[in-house]
């Protein structure tokens, strides 16, 4: 048997194909996939129960409904929709003319009361003079009566004159009583008695009425009670009648923002006030803010609904309840946080927080 030519063997080896690349990829996949699965399972096992999260969360901000304290027609609107305002900025103005008239009427009432008091004071001074005159007449009548009594004892006068002198004393006493009664009446009208010394109820009432009229006039200009962003400004129209106490415009106080996250009741076991949290937003994909649990609700959402569930009647189906949890934001957001935006909250329940 002839031996193989070495040159031919070398040529055959050179012509043999290399191992196909897909076999290497298959080998790598067979090794990598189980490793990745084991790593993911290990991460889930290690972090299980350490974090709770929910996407049932929303941005909340204080909303202030502004209403007018007095009724009237709107004559000026100073704000527009979504306009930022500061506390004390003018929002709108109600026609002040009727309230200026009320102030003028109150001024006239004060003046009339003062004139009336002046008249009463003159009358009171007159009654004081009448009292003194009546006392003088009593003294004179008694002196005459005593004189007639002495003459009668000596037989130098008649009984008729003595009776006239006695009648004069009675008339003088009656005049004094009338003068004292008139003085008491004038004193009561002037309120110069011990109850309210030196004050006149009529003038005091007129001044109080003027203060109210002046306050109503000042309230025709409605100012922002807090800073924020104007909403629902389309309700304000020049010429529109404004009813006292009816909400006219709203202000969203964006300087105070928090997240209200509605967690399942099964997530509350390890949750504590003060635990750290992270917040992300559907509207801003790249924004994640740090925060912490500020408070945990005292009742589930169903407890405060308009029509709470009646579980004592009918067929009962158990539904996992949700509890509102307030998340305070610790970071400054690079984007504007708008009330009502959807958010996702993740709480680290490993931290013990503040019990």
CATH number at residue 239: 2.40.50.100
Q: Report the pLDDT averaged over residues 92-96.
A: 97
Assess whether 138 and 110 both reside in one domain: yes
Q: Report the pLDDT averaged over residues 203-228.
A: 94
| pLDDT of 178 over the 50 cut | yes
| pLDDT of 198 over the 70 cut | no
Assess whether 110 and 78 both reside in one domain: no
Assess whether 80 and 224 both reside in one domain: yes
pLDDT at 195: 40
pLDDT tens track for 217-255: 999 999 999 999 999 999 899 999 999 999 999 999 988
Assess whether 91 and 103 both reside in one domain: no
Assess whether 189 and 228 both reside in one domain: no
| pLDDT of 116 over the 90 cut | no
Q: Would you say residue 73 lies in a domain? A: yes
Collect all residues with Cβ–Cβ distance below 8 Å to 251 and sequence separation of at least 6: 63, 64, 66, 85, 224, 225, 226, 227, 228, 229, 230, 231
pLDDT tens track for 290-318: 999 999 998 887 777 766 666 666 667 78
| pLDDT of 278 over the 60 cut | yes
Instruction: Please state, rounded to an integer, the average pLDDT across all residues of the chain.
Output: 83
Collect all residues with Cβ–Cβ distance below 8 Å to 272 and sequence separation of at least 6: 293, 349, 351, 352, 353, 354, 355
Assess whether 92 and 122 both reside in one domain: no
Q: Would you say residue 74 lies in a domain? A: yes
| pLDDT of 324 over the 80 cut | yes
Question: Can you tell me whether residue 338 is helix, strand or coil?
Answer: coil
Assess whether 116 and 204 both reside in one domain: yes
Q: Would you say residue 287 lies in a domain? A: no
Report the CATH number at residue 201. Answer: 1.10.287.620
User: Residue 288 forms beta bridges with which residues?
Assistant: 280
Q: Which of 197, 232, 251 lies at the terminal end of a domain, its last residue?
A: 251
Domain that holds residue 231: 63-96+220-251
Burial of 186 (0-12, 13-18, 19+ CB in 10 A): buried
Assess whether 171 and 239 both reside in one domain: no
CA-to-CA distance for 86 and 77, rounded, in angstroms? 16
Assess whether 153 and 238 both reside in one domain: no
Q: Would you say residue 48 lies in a domain? A: no
Q: Would you say residue 262 lies in a domain? A: no
Using left for φ > 0, alpha for ψ between -120 and 50, and beta otherwise, residue 135 falls in alpha
* Intra-chain end-to-end CA distance of the chain, in Å: 95
User: Residue 57 forms beta bridges with which residues?
Assistant: 261, 343
Q: Would you say residue 198 lies in a domain? A: yes
Domains held by the chain: number: 2
Assess whether 106 and 207 both reside in one domain: yes
Assess whether 117 and 171 both reside in one domain: yes
Q: Would you say residue 240 lies in a domain? A: yes
Q: Are strands 276-281 and 228-231 parallel, antiparallel or unpaired?
A: unpaired
Contact 292, 275 (CB under 8 A): yes
Q: How far is CA 267 from CA 42, 222, 263, 264, in A?
A: 22, 46, 6, 5
Q: Which of 342, 318, 324, 351 is nearest to 263 (CA)?
A: 324
Assess whether 113 and 247 both reside in one domain: no
DSSP string, 259-287: EEEEEEGGG-TT--BT-EEEEEESS-TT-
pLDDT at 2: 47
Q: Would you say residue 118 lies in a domain? A: yes
């Amino acid at each position: 048997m002839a031996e193989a030519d070495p040159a031919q063997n070398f040529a055959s080896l050179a012509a043999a194909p290399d191992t196909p690349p897909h076999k290497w990829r298959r080998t790598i996949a067979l090794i990598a996939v189980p490793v990745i699965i084991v790593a993911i399972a290990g991460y889930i096992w290690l972090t299980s129960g350490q974090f709770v999260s929910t996407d049932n969360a929303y941005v909340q901000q204080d909303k202030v409904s502004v209403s007018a304290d007095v009724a009237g027609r709107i004559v000026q609107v100073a704000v527009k929709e979504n306009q930022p305002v500061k506390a004390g900025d003018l929002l709108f103005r109600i026609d002040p003319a009727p309230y200026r008239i009320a102030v003028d009427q109150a001024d006239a009432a004060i003046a009339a009361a003062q004139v009336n008091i002046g008249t009463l004071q003159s009358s009171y001074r007159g009654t004081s003079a009448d009292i003194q005159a009546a006392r003088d007449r009593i003294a004179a009548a008694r002196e005459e009566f005593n004189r007639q009594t002495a003459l009668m004892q000596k037989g130098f006068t008649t009984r008729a004159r003595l009776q006239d002198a006695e009648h004069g004393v009675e008339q003088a006493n009656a005049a004094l009583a009338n003068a004292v009664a008139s003085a008491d009446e004038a004193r009561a009208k002037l309120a110069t008695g011990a109850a309210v010394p030196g004050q006149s109820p009529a003038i005091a009432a007129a001044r109080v009425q003027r203060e109210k009229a002046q306050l109503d006039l000042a309230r025709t200009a409605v100012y922002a009670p807090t800073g924020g962003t104007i909403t629902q400004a389309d309700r304000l129209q020049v010429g529109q009648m404004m009813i006292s106490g009816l909400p006219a415009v709203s202000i969203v106080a964006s300087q105070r923002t928090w997240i209200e996250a509605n967690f399942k009741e099964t997530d509350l076991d390890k949750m504590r006030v003060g635990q750290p949290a992270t917040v992300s937003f559907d509207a801003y994909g790249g924004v994640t803010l740090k925060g912490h649990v500020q408070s945990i609700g005292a009742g589930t959402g169903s407890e405060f609904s308009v029509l709470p569930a009646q579980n004592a009647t009918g067929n009962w189906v158990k539904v996992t309840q949700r509890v509102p949890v307030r998340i305070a934001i610790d970071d400054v957001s690079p984007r504007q946080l708008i009330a009502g935006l959807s958010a996702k909250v993740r709480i680290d329940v490993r931290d013990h927080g503040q019990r």
